[in-house]
Chain A
Amino acid sequence: MSTSQQPIGGTLGTEVVPVAPGVNLLRAAIILLAFAMAAAVPIAFASSYQLFQLTLAGTYAIAILGLNIVTGFNGQISLGHGAFYAVGAYTTAILMTHFDMPYWETLPIAAVVCGVLGFGVGFPALRLGGLYLALTTFSLAVAVPQILKYRGVEDWTGGVQGTFLVKPDAPEFTGLNNDQYLYLFVLTLAALLFLMMANLLHSRIGRAMRSIRDHPTAAEAMGMDIARIKTRTFALSAGITGLAGALSAIAVEYVAPDSFNVELSINLFVGMVVGGVGSIVGPIFGGLFIVFLPNVAESVSRAAPGVIYGVILIFFLYLLPQGFAGFPRRIAALFRKRRQD
């Protein structure tokens, strides 16, 4: 069904090469093994605070996955995904405290709310292309804490003080404590989302997204409605990031306007670049990076993480534009060169 799209396939950055069934099996085995390790090792060895940090890294990884779909794969720059993270978190907080919903029921609702919001914000900007989306989303990220503090919605949001929520109890049959259970829950959900997105990005829709990134004019000439695809991609991306925000609210047990300021959006952006723009595994590195770098850097000074973030961001853009995810390929290329010499 994809014969009509073959001609531009050559210009796409990461075209899928058909592989032998054995390679696919091997890949599946590696993924399963990695998942089992990621699940078992921290549960066996990590303290509850370390588990909390890993849980948080998981939610950031999901958020960056969402950002990467629109920025990495569709080429539309968003500087305001923290806003969707915030709305997802608040949706869950409000549903859990005001409507007594169980935590897992709030997740799809948070995703849908953020998807709709993303559609609304993306629609005016994405018709136009260029920097308009970056500008609009940046403004959204700056404005969001103020909206959350607004007195008219204080009864729902808790205003400046924010809202506390209760961490879910682990089901008894698992025999885990609450931190371990939540970590496994987030990890499993993250794994499912990453697999779903990998499949989506390798499908016809994913090819359409990437062709719009690489050559919008050609994509439009092939009959794609690029404004529609861009807006829907943005909505999907906002929904995933909103889901991540909802998970973070459950993990942190607290939401407050000032934890969702513009720096959150910027951190997600930095995490995406450092992990690897347009890479499916990149967001995992990105999530770990934005949780654990400040721990290291804060021992220097309160301002140090920000300066180091900025320097690392510029460093990666200049020297490692493919991020951490590009390392294996770089090393492989290096070896190949050696062998040829």
Chain B
Amino acid sequence: MQGLAHQLIAGIATGGIYASVALALVMIYQSTHHLNFAQGEMATFSTYIALTLIQAGLPYWVAFAATLVISFGIGVFTERILLRPMHNASVLANVGVFIGLLLVFRNAMGWMFEYTIKSFPSPFESDTPLLGGLVSGHELGSTAVTLVVLGLVFVFFRYTKLGLAMRAAAFNASSSKLVGIRVGWMLALGWGLAATIGAIAGMMIAPVVFLEPNMMLGILLYAFAGALLGGIDNPGGAVIGGFAVGVIENLGGAYLVGTELKLTLALVIIICVLLVKPSGLFGRVVQSRV
């Protein structure tokens, strides 16, 4: 029982990371109908920036904040420079640009920071086991951070004028333009936010899995699975899907398939969702007319 409870809690902790990345993916998908295959690599890149800042002597939370600002900038910059000219291009061209971004980020990291595995500090280290040894300080802390982030994102989109404008731009670009919303900038803001959320996810998972250029590849896969499971056009659903995938992954890894086939589990989840309920648990069913 103790083991099961521990796996559940660990699943929720990693699920929070998947939920964040899934949310970042869905935010961009909603407004552009493209999946950012480079999302994971961008997050890893941000984590390297954080490590560089910490090694330069900055306190953890200062480096944390600075990384968020820099990541936001990278996200906005990427949208404005690279994706903007592709706005009306084919799906293939867009996917190609994402793959190009993935290649550039991944190999630039290898170039700048070397391929060796690095450890990343956690601000929540505690020697005393919490809740009778059920949960580590980092698990608790990172789950709290993730929940705060998700809460902030919800409040931002639900209760601020800018959030409303961004939702409007994603929902109906041409009508939004008519009421004076700068749709192009809303897209860039969305990219910035997605990059920021990804950076937080990267910094929270790095102490657990160690930092290397490949770090987010598997996590991106789980985030895809989570987003699909929850419904790829529903941010709330994607978050719930992310947590669910985290729990499924941990329980499945512990009791069913072992750690060796964890990535395959994500693939199986994706295929099952596509076979059984392609719109996901909370997604809108899209119907096309012929």
Decide if B91 touches A131 in the complex (CB within 8 Å).
Answer: yes
Measured in the bound complex, the distance between the Cα atoms of B270 and A130 in whole Å is 15
Of A124, A306, A318, chain B has the most CB atoms within 10 Å of the CB of: A306
Interface: A212 (CB within 8 A) = no
- Interface residue from B103, B218, B224 paired with A135 (Cβ < 8 Å): B224
**Residues of A participating in the B interface, judged by any CB pair closer than 8 Å:** 71, 75, 77, 79, 121, 124-125, 127-128, 130-132, 134-136, 138-140, 142-143, 146-147, 149-151, 217, 220-221, 262, 266, 269-270, 273, 277, 301-307, 309-311, 313-314, 317-318, 321
**Residues of chain A lying within 8 A (CB to CB) of residue B164:** none
In the complex with contacts A139-B221, A266-B99, A150-B278 CB distance below 8 A:
no
Interface: B106 (CB within 8 A) = yes
**B183-209 to A contact mask, C-beta < 8 Å, 1/0:** 000000000000000000000000000
Interface: B179 (CB within 8 A) = no
Q: Shortest CB–CB separation between residue A87 and chain B, in angstroms? A: 14
- Interface residue from A75, A130, A143, A270 paired with B99 (Cβ < 8 Å): A270
**Residues of chain A lying within 8 A (CB to CB) of residue B267:** 136, 139-140, 142-143
Decide if A306 touches B271 in the complex (CB within 8 Å).
Answer: no
Decide if B111 touches A304 in the complex (CB within 8 Å).
Answer: yes
Measured in the bound complex, the distance between the Cα atoms of B217 and A292 in whole Å is 27
Interface: B149 (CB within 8 A) = no
Closest to B272 in A: A124
Decide if A136 touches B111 in the complex (CB within 8 Å).
Answer: no
Count B-side interface residues using an 8 Å CB cutoff: 47
- Interface residue from B35, B93, B110, B264 paired with A303 (Cβ < 8 Å): B110
Closest to A277 in B: B92
**Residues of chain A lying within 8 A (CB to CB) of residue B115:** 302
In the complex with contacts A75-B92, A146-B260, A317-B100, A307-B274 CB distance below 8 A:
no
Decide if B110 touches A135 in the complex (CB within 8 Å).
Answer: no
Interface: B96 (CB within 8 A) = yes
Nearest 4 Cβ contacts at the A-B interface: A306-B107, A310-B103, A310-B104, A303-B111
Decide if B103 touches A273 in the complex (CB within 8 Å).
Answer: no
Measured in the bound complex, the distance between the Cα atoms of B266 and A146 in whole Å is 12
Decide if A139 touches B111 in the complex (CB within 8 Å).
Answer: no
**Residues of chain B lying within 8 A (CB to CB) of residue A311:** 100, 104
**Residues of chain B lying within 8 A (CB to CB) of residue A125:** 274
Interface: B228 (CB within 8 A) = yes
Decide if B99 touches A150 in the complex (CB within 8 Å).
Answer: no
Closest to B222 in A: A139
Decide if A307 touches B217 in the complex (CB within 8 Å).
Answer: no
- Interface residue from A135, A305, A317 paired with B270 (Cβ < 8 Å): A135
Measured in the bound complex, the distance between the Cα atoms of B270 and A305 in whole Å is 31
Given A71-B92, A125-B274, A302-B115, 6 more pairs with CB closer than 8 A: A131-B91, A146-B260, A266-B99, A303-B107, A314-B104, A317-B97
**Residues of chain B lying within 8 A (CB to CB) of residue A277:** 92
Decide if B37 touches A138 in the complex (CB within 8 Å).
Answer: yes
Closest to B227 in A: A135
Measured in the bound complex, the distance between the Cα atoms of B95 and A131 in whole Å is 9
In the complex with contacts A75-B92, A131-B34, A318-B85, A262-B217 CB distance below 8 A:
yes
Decide if B95 touches A134 in the complex (CB within 8 Å).
Answer: yes
Measured in the bound complex, the distance between the Cα atoms of B102 and A64 in whole Å is 20
Decide if A314 touches B97 in the complex (CB within 8 Å).
Answer: yes
CB-contacts of B66-98 with A (<8 A): 82, 85-86, 89, 91-93, 95-97
Of A150, A303, A318, chain B has the most CB atoms within 10 Å of the CB of: A303
**Residues of chain B lying within 8 A (CB to CB) of residue A304:** 107, 111
In the complex with contacts A139-B224, A302-B110, A266-B102 CB distance below 8 A:
yes
Measured in the bound complex, the distance between the Cα atoms of B106 and A142 in whole Å is 15
Decide if A266 touches B103 in the complex (CB within 8 Å).
Answer: yes
Q: Shortest CB–CB separation between residue B83 and chain A, in angstroms? A: 11
Interface: B162 (CB within 8 A) = no
